[in-house]
Amino acid sequence: MQAETFRKEDNMGVRIREKRGKLYLDIMYKGQRRWEALDLRVPKDAAAKRETMRLAEAIRHKRELQLTSERYQLLDPVASKQTLTLYAEKVAATYDKKMHLPKSLKYLRPYAGETLLCDVNERFVDGYRAYLLGQKTIGAATAKHYIDALKALLAKAERERLIEHNPAKGMKTIRVPEQKRPFLTIEEIQKLYNTPAPGGELAEECRRAFLLSCFTGLRLSDLKTLTWGDIERAPEPMIVKRQSKTKDVVRIPLAPTAWELIDDRELHHRDELVFPRMTASKGVNVYIPLNTWRKKAGIDRAFGWHAARHSFAMMTLEASGDIYSVSRLLGHSDIRITEVYLRLLDSRKKEIIASLPELKDEQKTFEFKQPKQA
């Protein structure tokens, strides 16, 4: 095969080269030259050789198109013609299933249908936003997460030169009313601590787990997967655990009360669960024991498991005022999440001040003078 040579003035080009029976791409790009091996050998049979060279030429042509697109920032002519749903599924496959993009596919698939990635525009994004807000199965907060997931997806497509611009850029975000975060007072936690949980071993295990969450901020999902290997006894008791939700590792020192709730002074295998009865079977209900125990303790208002985490946040923030340390203890990925508790704390302070009694000085009387008549 006669080799073509690049001219000195050539800044870009792709040629086919043969060396010792193997085929290569000789690439000149941005003034630099390199070879890329093709998984092809030149056969001796003439017909087979022609077929191999046709395949090599197709590969060369595709590689040249890729370099041209990159150089002039053109769209990938093939990839941009795929459907939005297909692209979203490819990207979502690289994410954890619990993240917003994979979960949003349930709604994106029926809305997008066969819409091509290159045809997604502002009107499509606005329509999807309205579609999500109209769903009765999700709230405004979830809809916001799913819209944000689409924004990030389209931003990725723009970086990969699959679309010319991100049509969701600059789009107004969904305003979500600040959610109520029920928390327990120290007096209520004391009542729960002093009250045995009725209902047997599962109920008592739920009691200890809930109280532990009040002193560590662990989510229910992390309580269920807490093992003895996550607990360090020396130099001081501490939980070191990778969170189920964020996958980040939190290090939480154990207060004496928290340590007392789990320290049974027995030897356990590292992989053994601290609260095994809460996950003994798939149908274990940990909410009924919590509700029964709450009523027995004389607490009228209902609350769920997450109230323990909120209570921990409020107690530590009120005691320390250190939002950064509290944020790290809770394992928040963004300190703005922790700031919600600051606003709750400010609101609680206002309520406390408003509840102070008014004192009247009976020695003093106030005269209100009438304004002079003109």
- The three-state secondary structure class of 152 is helix
CA 36 to each of CA 4, 59, 69, 181, 297: distance values in angstroms, whole numbers, following the listed order: 16, 11, 19, 59, 74
Give me the residue spans of the domains in the chain. 12-72, 79-159, 186-350
pLDDT of residue 297: 93
Torsion angle of C-alpha atoms 336, 325, 329, 244, degrees rounded to 10: 40
User: How does pLDDT run across 284-336, given as a tens digit for each residue?
Assistant: 899 999 999 999 999 998 888 988 988 888 888 887 778 888 888 888 767 67
**Cβ-contact 237, 255 below 8 angstroms:** no
End-to-end Cα, the chain, rounded Å: 115
pLDDT of residue 8: 47
pLDDT of residue 291: 92
User: What is the rounded CA–CA span in Å between residue 190 and residue 197?
Assistant: 14
Query: Could you tell me the fold of the domain covering 79-159?
Result: DNA polymerase; domain 1 (1.10.150)
pTM over 0.75: no
**Cβ-contact 243, 223 below 8 angstroms:** no
Which residues lie across from 41 on neighbouring strands? Answer: 22
- Return the closest-CA partner of residue 171 out of 190, 148, 199: 148
| Tokens 């916001």 belong to residue | 144
Give the CATH number of domain 186-350. Answer: 1.10.443.10
Within the chain, where are the H helices? 46-72, 84-92, 100-112, 122-133, 140-159, 186-194, 201-216, 220-225, 256-262, 287-296, 306-320, 323-330, 335-354
Which residues lie across from 241 on neighbouring strands? Answer: 250
pLDDT of residue 368: 43
User: What is the rounded CA–CA span in Å between residue 93 and residue 96?
Assistant: 8
pLDDT of residue 344: 65
User: What is the rounded CA–CA span in Å between residue 1 and residue 19?
Assistant: 9
pLDDT of residue 72: 57
Stretches where the chain sits below pLDDT 50 are: 2-3, 8-9, 365-366, 368-371, 373-374
- The three-state secondary structure class of 134 is coil
User: How does pLDDT run across 186-242, given as a tens digit for each residue?
Assistant: 899 999 999 999 988 999 999 999 999 999 989 999 999 999 999 988 788 899 999
Percent share of the chain, pLDDT over 90: 25
The sign of the torsion formed by the CA atoms of 326, 330, 331, 332 equals negative
pLDDT of residue 371: 47
Which residues lie across from 232 on neighbouring strands? Answer: 238
Q: Extract long-range pairs of 21-27: CB within 8 Å, 24+ residues apart.
A: 23/52, 23/56, 25/59, 25/60, 25/63, 27/63, 27/67
pLDDT of residue 209: 94
pLDDT of residue 113: 92
Asked if the domains at 79-159 and 186-350 fall in one CATH topology, the answer is no
Which residues lie across from 250 on neighbouring strands? Answer: 241
